[in-house]
Structure 1
């Protein structure tokens, strides 16, 4: 009797533990999925130059609170931020500006990048530097859609598969190089393989 009572208590505890583990697992997974879709504010500035003249443009460092930074620590749709700056510069008369957007989560890092780039062009004296204030131009945050996130995952998966295939091909090439050195001839026909052994 005592054995059956102990067995039933143990079974109930075992079921509760399983349910608890399942609940914890579900919570952790949902937190992970939501974390991947959260926006993270970031600091950024723009730089533009034209090959037609010696004028360069630099924006102020701006904090964009609705920017999305992926798991690979890269700004989502970075080229579109550069297009925003390019469109603004064209609207004020700049001819064919080539724009880049630099970003960093940490303000000290972005300030260091900004000062480094500014000193580089001020030092040479060859360029006319025009500073663009935040009141004249402001970056607009770009949020990824679910399809964008899926494309990012698919691209990573494809790159991983390509890397794996390249690694396998490299191993096979090394193997084929070593076989003749050992006096072994590789064939795909089982009958031919038997003939070489005799």
Structure 2
């Protein structure tokens, strides 16, 4: 009788361990695609970066890119060093899917091409986003 109870408890414990191992949250770090746009309201130039992949990013519970302002600050610092203008307004767009981000880029390009703005593409060899420390 004691042996049968011990065997049953052992099987239940084993099942508990196995099922909890499968329900553990998997590492949800994944690649995210980012791109930046910079506007300077006193200038007619709009800067666009290429879409870049940032590895090992964990989005917030709300689905936002953590330290998003850090990416915008990187672009702003690069442009300030390049042209000396401190009035750049930088925006970072991101998505887990490159195609979705490309669609956003296409819409933005279309919006700014219709006006009197000059679009400047920033080469990936000149500027690359680096994941800020979280």
Give the secondary structure class of the aligned counterpart of 1:65: strand
CA drift of 1:23 comes to: 1.4
* Higher RCO, 1 vs 2 (CA within 8 Å, ≥6 residues apart): 2
- The normalised TM-score by structure 2 is 0.87
Give the secondary structure class of the aligned counterpart of 2:114: helix
| 2:55 equivalent in structure 1 | 65
CA drift of 1:13 comes to: 3.0
| 2:18 equivalent in structure 1 | 24
Q: How does 1:103-122 map to 2 (within 5 A)?
A: 103-122=94-113
- Among 3, 7, 10, the alignment partner of 2:4 is 10
Structure 1 distance, partners of 2:11, 2:132, is 43
Structure 1 portions without partners, runs of 5+: 1-6, 145-198
CA drift of 1:10 comes to: 3.5
Structure 2 distance, partners of 1:71, 1:18, is 34
Q: How does 1:1-198 map to 2 (within 5 A)?
A: 7-24=1-18, 26-28=20-22, 31-32=24-25, 35=27, 38-93=28-83, 94-124=85-115, 126-144=116-134
Structure 2 distance, partners of 1:67, 1:57, is 25
Please identify which structure carries the higher strand content.
Answer: 2
Please identify which structure carries the higher helix content.
Answer: 1
Give 1 or 2 for the bigger CA radius of gyration. Answer: 1
Runs of 4+ in 1 over 6 A off after TM superposition: none
Structure 2 portions without partners, runs of 5+: none
- The normalised TM-score by structure 1 is 0.61
